[in-house]
Amino acid sequence: MRRLMSAAVMAAFALPGVPAMADELRETALGLFATVPARVEQVRGAPVTAERVELGRKLFFEPRLSRSHVISCNTCHNLGTGGADNVPTSIGHGWQKGPRNSPTVYNAAFNVAQFWDGRAADLREQAKGPVQAGVEMNSTPERVVATLKSIPDYVAEFAGAFPGMADPVTFDNMALAIEAFETTLITPGARFDRFLGGDDAALDATERRGLQVFIDSGCAACHNGPNVGGQDYFPFGVVERPGAEVLPQGDKGRFAVTNTADDEYVFRAAPLRNVALTAPYFHSGQAWELEQAVAIMSTAQLGTEMTDEDVRAVTAFLHTLTGTPPVVTYPILPASTATTPRPE
C-alpha cells in the first residue's frame, strides 16, 4: 500500500500561499527534503570498501558483461550526461529499443527501490537486470562468471574485494561491487542543498518562489526525501490521465510487479536530483523540455493548470537540484584471454 501524502507534506499544505521568508521556507523544506551526503559508508548492510568500489568502477564500464562486448552499464547510465542516456528509451542488443526511459544512476542509492516500477529492492538486485535482459545486454549469469573467471586480474580483484570467500567470482558479487561503486555516484553541493544548509543567496527570488510553489501546489507530496522523489509509488494521471504518447496504455507500471488493480499505471515518483540534465522525461521519455514536463505533471497529478509564471518558477527551482558529480577515472580493463567467451 502506498502512502499518498506524508504528515510533513500535509503540514506544508497548511502554509499560507504568500511567499515565505527564506528561513520559514527553509524550515518547511527541511521537513520534506534532505541534502545529499558527501559520502556513503555502507549500503543496505553491505560495506562500501575501496576494493569493491574499484572493482565496481571497472565492471560499470565493462562491455564484456554484454553478449556483444559493446554495451556496458555506462552505455545507458552515461556518467557524462547526467547518469542517463538522454534518449527516449534505451538502445540495447541488436539495436532493440527498451520499453522505458533510462533513469539516472546518480544518487540512485537513495531511492526506495530501483526501476520505474520498483521491481528491484536495491542496486545490487537492479544491476543483475540489464545484464540479462534480452533487449539490453543480453548475457547470462553463467556467461558473465565464465568471462570474469577467464581473466586473472579480475579473479584477483574479486578475491581482494570479497576476502575469505572460497569462490568470490560470482554474479551476486559482481552486483555487490557495482552497487558499491554506484554508492559513490552521488552529487552533493547542489544550490538547493546549500540553501537547505543555511545559504540564503544560493537560490534567487524566482528559484525560492519555485520551491514554494513546488511545496504549496502539491508536487512535494510525491517528490520528497533526499532525492526529491524516488521514495514511493503513485499513479501517473491521478487527476487526469495524460495522452497515450506520454502514458502508453501497454505499460501498466507497478501492476506488473504486484498484480494489484490498484497499481495500474502506478510508477515510482521520479527522483528529481539533476533533472535538468536528464531529458527526455517520464518513463516514456516523451517530454523533451523540463517546463513541458512540469506543465504535464500539474495537469495530470495536481488537477491545476499552473500559470506559465509558476511553471517557469518551478523549472527554475528544479535547475538548482543539479549537484557536483564525482571525478571518475576511466578504468583500464584487464585483457581477455583465450578462454574468454567471444562476442556474439
Positions that interact with its own copies (CB under 8 A):
58, 61-63, 68-70, 75, 78-82, 85-88, 91, 94-95, 276-277, 279, 288-289, 325, 327-333, 335-336, 338, 342-343
Please state the closest distance from residue 36 (CB atom) to its own copies, in A. 16
Terminal Cα-to-Cα distance of the chain (whole angstroms): 43
CA 167, 168, 174, 175 torsion: positive or negative? positive
136 is annotated as an active-site residue: yes
Beta bridge partners of 21: none
Q: Between residues 62 and 117, which has the closer beta carbon with respect to its own copies? A: 62
**Contact residues for 135 (Cβ-Cβ < 8 A; gap 6+):** 92, 93, 96, 97, 98, 99
Instruction: State how far the Cα of 255 lies from the Cα of 265, in Å rounded to an integer.
Output: 7
Does 93 belong to an annotated binding site? yes
Q: Between residues 7 and 342, which has the closer beta carbon with respect to its own copies? A: 342
Instruction: State how far the Cα of 330 lies from the Cα of 312, in Å rounded to an integer.
Output: 37
CA 226, 232, 236, 239 torsion: positive or negative? negative
Q: Between residues 258 and 340, which has the closer beta carbon with respect to its own copies? A: 340
Please state the closest distance from residue 95 (CB atom) to its own copies, in A. 4
Please state the closest distance from residue 86 (CB atom) to its own copies, in A. 6
The 3-state secondary structure of 158-182 reads HHHHCCCCCCCCCHHHHHHHHHHHH
Q: Between residues 120 and 316, which has the closer beta carbon with respect to its own copies? A: 316
Element (H, E) at 47: strand 46-47
Does 1 belong to an annotated binding site? no
Catalytic residue among 136, 179, 182, 207: 136
Please state the closest distance from residue 81 (CB atom) to its own copies, in A. 5
Does 73 belong to an annotated binding site? yes
Q: Which of 133, 125, 106 is nearest to 270 (CA)?
A: 106
Q: Between residues 168 and 341, which has the closer beta carbon with respect to its own copies? A: 341
Please state the closest distance from residue 179 (CB atom) to its own copies, in A. 19
Amino acid identity of residue 113, one-letter, is: A
**DSSP secondary-structure letter at 298?**
I
Does 306 belong to an annotated binding site? no
Instruction: State how far the Cα of 319 lies from the Cα of 275, in Å rounded to an integer.
Output: 7
Grid cell 491521478 in the structure block, residue: 238
Amino acid identity of residue 172, one-letter, is: D
Residues catalogued as catalytic: 136
Residue numbers belonging to the annotated binding site: 73, 76-77, 93, 219, 222-223, 297
Which residues line the annotated binding site for heme c? 73, 76-77, 93, 219, 222-223, 297
